[in-house]
Amino acid sequence: MSDNFWDTVDTEPEVGTKPQSVTPATPEPVFASNDVESPFVGQRQSESIEKYDASLADFPVAVWDSKNDANEIISWFNGERFKQGKETLDFQYFRRATNISEFNSRHDAQTFLDLALGILNEEIPIDREIQYGGWMQDANPQWMEEYEESAGMWANIAAAVGFTFVLVFFMVATTLVSIALIHESERQDWPTGEAQVVEFEEWVETSCGDDGCSDTQYAKATFQLHCLSPSSEGAVSSEYVCGGDETENTVMFEHEYNSGFFEHAPVAYMMEQLTGAETHTVAYNPVNPSEVDLRPGFQINWEWFVPVVIPLFILLVITKAENVSVKSGYASLVGIMKGEVEV
């Protein structure tokens, strides 16, 4: 055998023997035994002057059980193809061409090597349908199975990612609503006093889109609250006492209140209570009258729960869906990050 163990052609004639013209012998098929079923049976073979030969023992692999092991064969194969000036092939081509769904045994390695030798020796043609990704469900049922498995994995991942984002939004919205309710509960015991309405304004804004136009009502109120401070002359309490007209002993607190979706007093309440009014009863913080409540008492705007109810409904739909699994999606994401799942 020559120094290149891939080349088994004897290029020197026997000494003393006159070279004779002979007909080249048909090369021995890669799958010579009729007892072993080959995935390449029926594919054409061609004559070749230079023959490649190799065995699994020629590769630095002790146990053939991973994609990295398979790449030892594929790397050698592509190196020889490069020397031939021909296109290279990847792991996916070998896997599909040999109908091996998961490379994990010595038998799989031998099948890969047989395919590599067959192509190098031009005994097995390259399947262009496999190479360029074309497939038909009826002709390649395994491809369809792999496609459905891959699509299912990505659907699960999408469900897991969507579930995560909606869950985060739900938690944030729930936290904000909870804080608002706690804050509202603290305000219900505040004392009340008459505030002077300095200005009240209401207006309508029209917005138009593909579905037509809609009107939104807004309102803004500015009012003053006159308070007797604990340090004022004549004060009878250690806290602020607010309400009534301005005097020389009172301190004035001015407030501006704008209607809004998350505001305590909705625009309808402001228009009903403040239109044409000179004073309005407000609740105030006796320790710090800069904090006021335009609508005294414990009140709830049910609109506050919309950002909580809608995400909760979406979460229930995702978790109850029959075609996707959030748990499997998380498992696939972890597998991809660890390199255990092939993308």
CB under 8 Å to 97, separation ≥6 — which residues? 39, 115, 127, 130
CA 75 to chain centre: 33
Same domain for 222 and 172, yes or no, is: no
Same domain for 196 and 260, yes or no, is: yes
The backbone region for 276, taken as left when phi is positive above 0, alpha when psi lies in -120 to 50, beta otherwise, is: left
Does residue 41 sit within a domain?
yes
The backbone region for 248, taken as left when phi is positive above 0, alpha when psi lies in -120 to 50, beta otherwise, is: alpha
Same domain for 81 and 143, yes or no, is: no
Q: Could you give the dihedral angle defined by the CA atoms of residues 163, 168, 174 and 176, in that order, rounded to the nearest 10 degrees?
A: -150
Same domain for 103 and 114, yes or no, is: yes
Same domain for 194 and 121, yes or no, is: no
Same domain for 174 and 319, yes or no, is: yes
Q: How many domains does the chain have?
A: 3
Return the ∠ at Cα 104 (arms to 103 and 109), rounded to 5°. Answer: 70
**Distance between CA atoms of residues 330 and 159, nearest Å:** 9
Does residue 98 sit within a domain?
yes
Same domain for 10 and 120, yes or no, is: yes
Same domain for 123 and 180, yes or no, is: no
Residues 164-220: tens digit of each pLDDT: 999 999 999 999 888 878 877 778 888 999 999 989 988 888 888 888 888 888 888
SS3 317: helix
Provide the pLDDT for residue 162.
92
Same domain for 6 and 120, yes or no, is: yes
CB 244 within 8 A of CB 226: yes
Does residue 303 sit within a domain?
no
Low-confidence ranges of the chain (pLDDT < 50): 1-2, 4-27, 29-48, 135-139
156: exposed, middle or buried (Cβ count in 10 Å: 0-12, 13-18, 19+): buried
**Distance between CA atoms of residues 2 and 262, nearest Å:** 85
Last residue of a domain, one of 259, 274, 297: 297
Report the DSSP pairing between strands 212-228 and 241-242.
antiparallel
Same domain for 89 and 152, yes or no, is: no
CB 31 within 8 A of CB 38: yes
Does residue 210 sit within a domain?
no
DSSP string covering 206-233, please?
Answer: EEEETTEEEEEEEEEEEEEEEEE-TTST
Provide the pLDDT for residue 39.
46
Provide the pLDDT for residue 15.
44
Does residue 9 sit within a domain?
yes
CB under 8 Å to 23, separation ≥6 — which residues? none
SS3 16: coil
Does residue 337 sit within a domain?
yes
Same domain for 75 and 142, yes or no, is: no
Does residue 209 sit within a domain?
no
**In the beta sheet, which residues pair with residue 221?**
200, 257
Residue range of the domain that includes 337: 135-188+309-343
Same domain for 19 and 88, yes or no, is: yes
CB 250 within 8 A of CB 219: no
Provide the pLDDT for residue 275.
86
Last residue of a domain, one of 93, 113, 133: 133
Does residue 59 sit within a domain?
yes
